[in-house]
């Protein structure tokens, strides 16, 4: 029996609505996962010499889960949630973010990034700093810019708050490259980056993230009605299962086919993973000297003396 996902029988013996679909092979022990992630957050902060943290709260499940984990790790009094809406962001996103803040009773602030974004792309008839050339920029460019504007605000506020920026990207989006380089993926550390979306849902349910946040369709909220699953052309359970067998369990294409995955889906996901490799790695440095960082100068990131005094 898979914990968290399958409906519990209520007193009448009838099964309640399923909160979300969890492929059985992706089921994890949420107690162990929670314990490891909470320990990770504490450890990363302690070793860096910080007692506080902050994160951008979108109203979605990933950042909601991270907020709950950070609150468990260091207490709500030591965390700050930043709401960073753009003028077209859905009202529901802001409401759900506020719900998380209220439940956790943590500090929060709201910074509307519209002026930053419009200041570059322009608005209505007024040109922005980017001039006429960027006026007709497609939604993808605008979305990437918004993600980076949020990063700018988070990192600036982090100085005043005196905390580290906690990452909120999950494994599924990282593997298919559904993230903005130096935007939403920018962080000091990420506790949920090795959890598939289905597993994020599982831990979120176990830790008490509100049901409406778990139930709603995941969205980057770059334009009204946008959803991840429509954009990607897969449902998360399908995508997670395919990634899990392809990557974690090293199944070959033939084996994936015989498991029932569609050839087009396999080809498409493999392509997405390969072309986004650069997003998951530190930018390469040309090897010139006798010792090069990341090649033959290999130190733990958190080494003696590395913590802020």
Partner 1 sequence: MQPLRIALAQLAPRLGVLEDNLASHRQVIEAARKGGAGLLVFPELGLTGYQLQDLAAEVAMRADDPRLLGLAADAADMSVVVSFVEEAADHRLFISAALLEDGAVRFIHRKLFLPTYGLFDERRFFGPGDLLRAVDSRLGVRLGLAVCEDFWHLAVPETLALDGAQILINVSSSPGRDLAAIHEVGLGTAASWRTLMRTYAQLTTSFVVFCNRVGMDETISFWGGSEVISPSGEAVFTAPLFDEGLYFVDIELGDVRRERIGLPLLRDERPELHLRELRRILAERTEMAIDEASEAPAETEPS
Residues engaged in binding partner 1 (CB under 8 A): 2-3, 25, 27-29, 31-33, 35-36, 39-40, 43, 47, 297-304
* Least distance in angstroms from the C-beta of 31 to partner 1: 7
- Residue closer to partner 1 by CB (options 257, 285) is 285
- Residue closer to partner 1 by CB (options 39, 208) is 39
- Residue closer to partner 1 by CB (options 111, 246) is 246
**CB distance 61 to 45 below 8 Å:** no
* Least distance in angstroms from the C-beta of 193 to partner 1: 9
How far apart, in whole angstroms, are the C-alpha atoms of residue 78 and residue 287?
Answer: 41
- Residue closer to partner 1 by CB (options 253, 296) is 296
- Residue closer to partner 1 by CB (options 86, 244) is 244
* Least distance in angstroms from the C-beta of 291 to partner 1: 9
How far apart, in whole angstroms, are the C-alpha atoms of residue 274 and residue 272?
Answer: 6
Cα angle value 120/122/128 (rounded, 5°): 50
* Residue 293, φ and ψ in degrees, nearest 5: -60, 135
* Least distance in angstroms from the C-beta of 74 to partner 1: 15
Going by C-alpha positions, the residue among 80, 112, 120 that lies closest to residue 93 is 112
Going by C-alpha positions, the residue among 78, 82, 114 that lies closest to residue 100 is 82
* Least distance in angstroms from the C-beta of 248 to partner 1: 9
Strand order in the sheet with 107-110: 107-110, 79-83, 52-56, 163-165
Two tokens, residue 299? 């130190």
Going by C-alpha positions, the residue among 5, 20, 50 that lies closest to residue 214 is 20
* Least distance in angstroms from the C-beta of 60 to partner 1: 23
Report how far apart, in Å, the C-alpha atoms of 202 and of each of 19, 79, 175, 206, 286 are. 10, 23, 19, 6, 42
Report how far apart, in Å, the C-alpha atoms of 180 and of each of 172, 173, 187 are. 14, 10, 12
* Residue 109, φ and ψ in degrees, nearest 5: -150, 155
* Least distance in angstroms from the C-beta of 247 to partner 1: 13
- Residue closer to partner 1 by CB (options 31, 77) is 31
How far apart, in whole angstroms, are the C-alpha atoms of residue 165 and residue 15?
Answer: 41
How far apart, in whole angstroms, are the C-alpha atoms of residue 137 and residue 117?
Answer: 12
* Least distance in angstroms from the C-beta of 40 to partner 1: 6
- Residue closer to partner 1 by CB (options 31, 212) is 31
- Residue closer to partner 1 by CB (options 69, 81) is 69
């Amino acid at each position: 029996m898979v914990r968290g996902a399958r409906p519990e029988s209520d007193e009448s013996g009838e099964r309640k609505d399923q909160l979300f679909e969890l492929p059985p092979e992706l089921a994890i022990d949420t107690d162990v996962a929670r314990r490891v992630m909470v320990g990770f957050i504490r450890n990363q902060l302690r070793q860096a010499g910080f007692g506080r943290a902050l994160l951008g709260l979108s109203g979605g499940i990933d950042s909601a889960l991270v907020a709950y984990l950070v609150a468990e790790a260091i207490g709500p009094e030591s965390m700050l949630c930043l709401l960073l809406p753009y003028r077209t962001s859905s009202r529901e996103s802001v409401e759900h973010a506020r719900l998380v803040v209220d439940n956790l009773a943590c500090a929060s602030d709201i910074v509307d990034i519209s002026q930053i974004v419009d200041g570059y792309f322009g608005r209505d008839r007024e040109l922005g700093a980017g001039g006429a050339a960027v006026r007709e920029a497609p939604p993808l460019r605008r979305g990437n810019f918004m993600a980076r504007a949020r990063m700018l605000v988070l990192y600036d506020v982090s100085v005043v708050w005196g905390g580290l920026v906690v990452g909120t990207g999950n494994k599924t989006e990282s593997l298919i490259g559904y993230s903005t380089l130096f935007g939403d993926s920018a962080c000091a550390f990420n506790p949920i980056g090795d959890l598939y979306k289905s597993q994020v849902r599982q831990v979120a349910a176990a830790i008490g993230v509100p049901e409406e946040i778990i139930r709603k369709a995941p969205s980057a909220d770059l334009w009204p009605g946008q959803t991840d699953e429509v954009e990607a052309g897969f449902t998360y359970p399908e995508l997670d299962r395919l990634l899990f067998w392809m990557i974690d369990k090293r199944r070959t294409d033939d084996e994936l086919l015989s498991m029932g995955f569609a050839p087009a889906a396999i080809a498409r996901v493999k392509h997405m993973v390969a072309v986004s490799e650069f997003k998951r790695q530190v930018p390469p440095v040309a090897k010139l000297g006798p010792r090069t960082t990341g090649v033959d100068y290999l130190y733990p990131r958190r080494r003696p003396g590395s913590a802020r005094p």
